[in-house]
Amino acid sequence: MSEQRLRVALGERSYDVIVGPGLLAQAGRHLGPLLARPRTFVVTDATVATLHLAPLTAALAADGIACRPIVVPAGEATKDFAHLRRLIDDLLDAGVERSDLIVALGGGVVGDLAGFAAAILRRGTGFVQIPTTLLAQVDSSVGGKTGIDTRQGKNLVGSFHQPRLVLADTGTLDSLPRRQLLAGYAEVAKVGLLGDAPFFAWLEVHGEAVIQGGPGARAHAIATCIAAKARIVEADEHEHGDRALLNLGHSFGHALEAETGFGDALLHGEAVAIGMVLAFALSSRLGLCPAADTDRVRRHLAAVGLPAAIAGIAGPGWSGTILANRMTQDKKVRDGRPTLVLVRGIGQAFLSRDQSFANLARFLDDALGERTA
Ligand code: GLY
């Protein structure tokens, strides 16, 4: 399948998201027109560097563009103040100017970190996202959310800073382990679950092909997710309203990630998968959503191999109160109450401020209790 060009229309901050195979090899052609001088600063992590840095550097050189690579450690722990400071130092030492472009080559961690560095460097430097994971291609590289984690929680320090271009080379997904693909697939399913029931029904049939890279299926899913996200971001760039629907499963998921230490024990997408099931289960318990829809969500996520129940990952000391306390640090807490994404059914998400943390703790206690049921 050839490349598709999708537009995020945000006035003077508008940009294209190009999706397709082989885009890394054409990076010079796509970046060239955006550069004030033939020089880029590529931020990547140690894992992605071994796979994709040399091809990207060669592709840029073929169009006469010099490339200064900066390699950060792989993993969520890199999204902190210490690594941000080091990256800013490296970029300034390398002579990056405000009119230059910083290129984020990698997954969500590199995109969020490099994007935030670009946002604050010289009061705002341009950047380009070249996402190399399914999760980053369908979600984090589009929409301009950038930032780092603190000990209190995920993404608590950051900025909205839109990229100038996103190059989603679907060929880079072929080197991903299945677990990483599944973690990204959770965000794919999220798009159907929050607002596109026919897409979720399509995923129930074609989900495995999306994960395995079946002809056409993966590209269709990625383009569908990006188009949906573009419409949501265009309507609510700074998340004053409906953009928060993209956080379906994330408030619960962030609590689970925090409790498991933001590491390999539970990947972000895995936490989101469990979090989405919890959001559906809570909605059903409140009488808002048919139980059959919650069962469908749980069944599909489990069928592709994602964790779909808190029982499978909970540690011995966990309680509803501990998890609900984690959720009090969420950015969407307002006047002491969480903003939750709940559902009236598949494809019908809405924002709710009706739940107290005490209610959440009771619900989570019951969900945890199911491990012995
Ligand atoms: N990943 C959610 C958002 O970009 O709003």
Query: What is the per-residue pLDDT for 262?
Result: 77
Instruction: Pick one of 1.20.1090.10, 3.30.420.10, 3.40.50.720, 3.40.190.80 as the CATH number of 178-208+240-369.
Output: 1.20.1090.10
For ligand 1, atom 3: residue with the closest CA: 246
pLDDT tens string 257-295: 988 887 788 999 999 999 999 999 999 999 999 999 999
Instruction: Pick one of 3.30.460.10, 3.40.640.10, 3.40.50.1970, 3.40.50.180 as the CATH number of 4-175.
Output: 3.40.50.1970
**What is the position in ligand 1's atom list of the atom closest to the CA of 140?**
1
Average pLDDT over residues 238-254: 95
For ligand 1, atom 2: residue with the closest CA: 246
pLDDT tier for residue 141 given thresholds of 50, 70 and 90: very high
pLDDT above 90 as % of the chain: 85
Distance 249 CA to ligand 1 centre (A): 12
The CA–CA distances, whole Å, from 84 to 73, 91, 119, 128 equal: 12, 10, 12, 17
Segments making up each domain of the chain, as ranges:
4-175, 178-208+240-369
Is the pLDDT reported for residue 80 higher than 70? yes
- 234 CB neighbour count, 10 Å cutoff: 16
Query: What is the per-residue pLDDT for 2?
Result: 82
**Beta strand spans in the chain (E):** 4-8, 15-20, 39-45, 66-72, 101-106, 126-131, 145-150, 153-160, 165-169, 340-343, 349-352
Cβ < 6 A, ligand 1 pocket: 139-140, 143, 145, 243, 246
In single-letter form, the type of residue at position 304 comes to V
Best of 8, 137, 139 for a ligand 1 pocket test (most atoms within 8 Å of beta carbon): 139
pLDDT above 70 as % of the chain: 99
- Catalytic sites, residue numbers: 123, 145, 187, 229, 239, 243, 247, 250, 254, 268
Best of 242, 246, 248, 272 for a ligand 1 pocket test (most atoms within 8 Å of beta carbon): 246
In single-letter form, the type of residue at position 7 comes to R
Q: Is the pTM of this model over 0.85?
A: yes
| Helix (H) or strand (E) run with residue 192 in it | helix 178-195
Q: What are phi and psi of 156, to 5 degrees?
A: -80, -15
Higher pLDDT, 313 or 91: 91
Is the pLDDT reported for residue 372 higher than 90? no
Is the pLDDT reported for residue 73 higher than 90? yes
Of 70-79, 126-135, 320-329, the least confident: 320-329
pLDDT tens string 332-369: 777 778 899 999 999 999 999 999 999 999 999 999 98
Distance 270 CA to ligand 1 centre (A): 16
**What is the position in ligand 1's atom list of the atom closest to the CA of 239?**
5
**What is the position in ligand 1's atom list of the atom closest to the CA of 145?**
4
| Spatial distance between the Cα atoms of 95 and 296, rounded to a whole number of angstroms | 53
Distance 237 CA to ligand 1 centre (A): 10
Query: What is the per-residue pLDDT for 373?
Result: 38
Query: What is the per-residue pLDDT for 1?
Result: 55
**What is the position in ligand 1's atom list of the atom closest to the CA of 232?**
5
pLDDT tens string 47-63: 999 999 999 999 999 99
DSSP single-letter state for residue 24: G
Distance 335 CA to ligand 1 centre (A): 22
